[in-house]
A and B are shown apart, each in its own frame.
Chain A
Amino acid sequence: MNQQATTRMGINKQTQQEKLRSRPWVATLILVGGLVALALGIAVSVSFGAADIKLSVVWTAIFHFNPEITEHQIIMDLRLPRVLGGVMVGASFAVAGAIMQGMTRNPLADSGLMGINAGAGFALALCFAFFPGLSFMYLIFYAFLGAGGGAAIVYGIGSMAKGGLTPTRLVLAGAALSLLLQALSEGVALYFNIGQDLAFWYAGGVAGTKWVQLKIMLPWVGGAIIGGIILSRSITMLSLGEDIAKGLGQRVGLVKLAGALIVLVLAGSSVAVVGSVGFIGLIIPHLTRYLVGVDYRWIIPCSAILGSLLAVFADLTARMINPPHETPLGAIIALIGVPFFLYLARKEKREL
């Protein structure tokens, strides 16, 4: 009897350790293998399209660019920025999701579900309506502001409620705010006759990505991801619980503020480029945590790589389903993301 109890306790301890384990080897494998797969994905994505271009031509186009060859121009002006945009956006959404899930210990955190994307989208709708022809630099800035506003409203309402901030409440508040902002954006679009521009943008896609946008976006996204990696140690502690993090001597408020800023920069700039693509930030961090364990020092870089992979391959699929038409990237990812979300909502044992 006694022995049984002790063995059971032993098993419990073991499973707990199992759960809290970190797997640096797997993580390294993902980082290396992921980069190789990403390079492959980029190559395939660039060569595939209305005009099939051989991989060798892709190679020469990138490293020995010759503006007189049409294929080189297609690659440099259309395909390459698009693929690189996908890489950046995938990485941003995934890292933003990972940081949100780690900091808030909310398994359903995702910038699409939390009203951040909707906020950025509404800000952009206002920009298109009132300041048409605004440069991309300012667009990104206003998208940040909108993302911040959306997040503030959802979190504010969630924490105002009796019983505090539960994941369900956040999801519901996010859903309602998204509906509201979408309705307002549609109203603005109707009034100013910018519906067509906005509709495609809402559906989410990397098709129109330009080099200028990438150049403006890169320092923000790069800086934010590096910031996330620097912050990852603290996020690991926070993910164990706020009290534990405090007990270990962490300045919780400061870390949370920094994390929130990083999330807003990542989500805001991504939404400004591709529109509202949800679910990357939900799927990828969960998958990564399952693969590499609970240490955010590995989760964040691995999420970035896997998120890029997902975005690049989803974009490739989007172009292959119904050529020559393009299926919006957001719809493709939602088709993968919805079942995953359902799985999470079912699996979660405690009341969400």
Chain B
Amino acid sequence: MLEKTSPASFDQARNKKGLFVMLVLSILIVLVFIISVNTGYIRLTPIELLKTMFGSGTAKQELILFDFRLPRIVISVLIGAGLAVSGAVMQGVFRNSLADPGILGINAGAGLMVMLLISFYPTTAAAPVFLLPLVAFFGAAVTAILIYSLAYKRHEGVSPIRLLLTGVAIAAGMSAAMIVLTLKLDPDKYKFVATWLAGSIWGTSWKFVLSLLPWILILLPYVIFKARVMNVLNLGEQTATGLGAAVNREQFKLLAAAVGLAAASVAVSGGIGFVGLVGPHLARRLVGPKHQLMLPTAALLGSLLVLIADTLGRWILQPSEVPTGIVVAVIGAPYFLYLLARTKS
């Protein structure tokens, strides 16, 4: 016999579990944060760290903490959250568990625009930091529209599979265009672009944090605020329409937010893939499909993943650094393949 639980108490149990999971994840992020601050060419012990934070460290320690490590860590946390939520929204809207801004080619679109900006901007010295997310958003939006309209067929709409295939192809085309562009660059710019493409978190200054922050601060709460709508959308278009949701309009708004999140993150971090895939999936496993719980959990998981990847990348091959994107791909790609093997067609 199945035990009878009222939906309300079941819901409460779920909520409790969800909050517990988020708490654990937050603690983990703080732990990794402490380890991450200590990782690198020069070490800071936890006590030194505390001292420096409260303003009584040496000038050198302050320089290391506030000017090098901290902005980098903050950026990791922000882009992890941004990419994971972006992936969660795309998976929800397209109702396809393999959707991810990287696989769909949206990151590539943003990257191409950033490269165009860098290669045609007169000097590298005054890199237009605040322009980067805007330009990236433009590129990502154009790519998203391109993919959507190429995958669209009259009478059939957009089949998830055609969408993925179109995305893969567009991503290949964008990378080809990027390769053509890179070869025209002078060596200085080339080096900059190459590390950016590999997905190293190069924005080691607070300027990049500031350029990224407004996007995350506006779009992340907006998407979480829309969690109820996403729950309804998950039931399928017809049911959602029946329940009174303006399906097309809501889908469009959500997708625009997702594209914005991905683009702003990519503009700062470069090619980091798979976070948008792994974050939401693990979140769904941990707290269930309800978006009110799943979206914040995914954001925390994304932050944790990128933070760990960044720390590992700094640590594995000391003193040289492995770009974060590479570490994330090494973790994320096997997971994608595993998912692919598990899902039914």
Interface residues of A (CB under 8 A from B): 108, 153, 157, 160-164, 166, 168-169, 171-173, 175-177, 179-180, 182-184, 186-187, 190-191, 195, 199, 203, 278, 322, 325-328, 330-332, 334-335, 337-339, 341-342, 345-346, 351-352
Residues of A within 8 A of B159 (CB): 351
| 21 residue pairs bridging A and B, Cβ less than 8 Å apart | A157-B340, A157-B341, A161-B345, A162-B345, A168-B165, A176-B337, A179-B273, A183-B326, A183-B329, A187-B326, A187-B330, A191-B320, A203-B179, A330-B179, A334-B172, A335-B173, A338-B170, A342-B169, A342-B170, A345-B166, A346-B162
Residues in chain B within 8 A of chain A (CB atoms): 98, 102-103, 150, 153, 159, 161-162, 164-166, 168-173, 175-177, 179-180, 183-184, 194, 198, 273-274, 317, 320, 322-323, 325-326, 329-330, 333-334, 336-337, 340-345
CA distance A278 to B153 in the complex (A): 27
* Assembled-state Cα–Cα distance A347/B207 (Å): 47
Known: A157-B337, A169-B345. 18 other contacts (CB 8 A): A157-B340, A161-B345, A163-B344, A166-B345, A171-B168, A173-B337, A176-B336, A179-B329, A180-B333, A183-B333, A184-B326, A327-B180, A331-B177, A335-B176, A339-B173, A342-B169, A345-B166, A352-B165
Distance to closest chain A CB from B94 (angstroms): 14
Given A328-B180, A338-B172, residue A191 in contact with residue B317 (CB < 8 A): yes
Q: Which residues of A contact B164 (CB under 8 A)?
A: 168, 172
Check if B317 sits within 8 Å of A190, measured CB to CB.
yes
B residues near A179, Cβ cutoff 8 Å = 102, 273-274, 329, 333
CA distance A328 to B330 in the complex (A): 27
**Partner among A172, A184, A190, A345 whose Cβ is within 8 Å of the Cβ of B330:** A184
Partner of B165, one of A180, A190, A345: A345
Whole-angstrom distance between the alpha carbons of A163 and B340 in the complex? 11
The residues of A that contact B180 with a CB separation of less than 8 Å are 327-328, 331
User: Which residue of the partner chain A has the closest CB to B199?
Assistant: A183
- Measured between beta carbons, the chain B residues less than 8 angstroms from A341 are 165, 169, 172
Contact between chains at B166 and A160 (CB < 8 Å) = no
The residue in chain B whose Cβ has the minimal distance to the Cβ of A159 is B341
Residue of A nearest to B174 (CB): A338
